């Protein structure tokens, strides 16, 4: 087994697509005209009508192919374009989701650090050693609170 990847055929320019479409329409109209002329008796190169009836399925298959293939090619191009657009939208949404998740994780970390800074036990340990007396009453000295709140603000601003 080879590891070759298949590459899609390079897209033709819009002018060559239009030219190819017109050539297919002209060829189809030519087949229809020849078939109609043969059925009506205007064209007598074939003395046997059985040959014309044998060619009938071939002509119909060619006509069906061309008229069936043209719309399907347009539909295929439209669907490929839509797939590409939806893929871009999905990539953009995924990127935005990842950025939001990273921002959320950073905010959660900041909140966790602020909670740790503002917790009563940590606030009491940051105050002066003589303030143990306030812990039993539930009051924290003002200078200790300023220090704790300042630390919390620095964490939030970072």
The two structure tokens encoding residue 14: 């819009």
Which pLDDT tens digit goes with each residue over 56-101?
A: 788 788 778 877 877 888 889 899 999 999 999 999 999 999 999 9
Whole-Å CA distances, 56 to 35, 49, 91, 111: 8, 11, 52, 81
- Identify the residue with better confidence: 31 or 145: 31
- Domain parsing of the chain, residue ranges: 14-102, 119-158
pLDDT for the residue numbered 137: 47
pLDDT band at 12; cut points 50, 70, 90: low
Q: How many CB atoms lie within 10 A of CB 25?
A: 13
Stated pTM of the model:
0.46
% of the chain surpassing 90 pLDDT: 19
The two structure tokens encoding residue 13: 């320019």
- Tell whether the model's pLDDT for residue 143 goes beyond 90: no
Report d(CA 51, CA 47) in Å as an integer: 9
pLDDT for the residue numbered 154: 81
Whole-Å CA distances, 139 to 20, 22, 144: 88, 91, 10
pLDDT band at 138; cut points 50, 70, 90: low
Residues 103-121, mean pLDDT to the nearest whole number:
82
């Amino acid at each position: 087994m080879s590891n070759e990847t298949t590459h899609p055929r390079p897209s033709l320019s819009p002018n060559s697509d239009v030219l190819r479409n017109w050539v297919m329409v002209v060829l189809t109209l030519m087949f229809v005209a020849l078939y109609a002329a043969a059925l009506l008796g205007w064209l007598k190169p074939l003395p046997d009508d059985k040959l014309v009836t044998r060619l009938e399925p071939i002509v119909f298959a060619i006509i069906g192919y061309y008229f069936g293939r043209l719309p399907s090619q347009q539909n295929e191009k439209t669907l490929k374009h839509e797939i590409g657009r939806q893929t871009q939208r999905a990539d953009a949404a995924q990127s935005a989701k990842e950025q939001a998740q990273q921002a959320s994780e950073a905010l959660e970390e900041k909140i966790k650090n602020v909670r740790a800074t503002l917790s009563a036990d940590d606030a009491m340990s940051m105050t002066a050693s003589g303030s143990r007396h306030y812990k039993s009453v539930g009051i924290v000295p003002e200078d200790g609170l300023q220090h704790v709140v300042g630390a919390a603000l620095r964490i939030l601003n970072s």
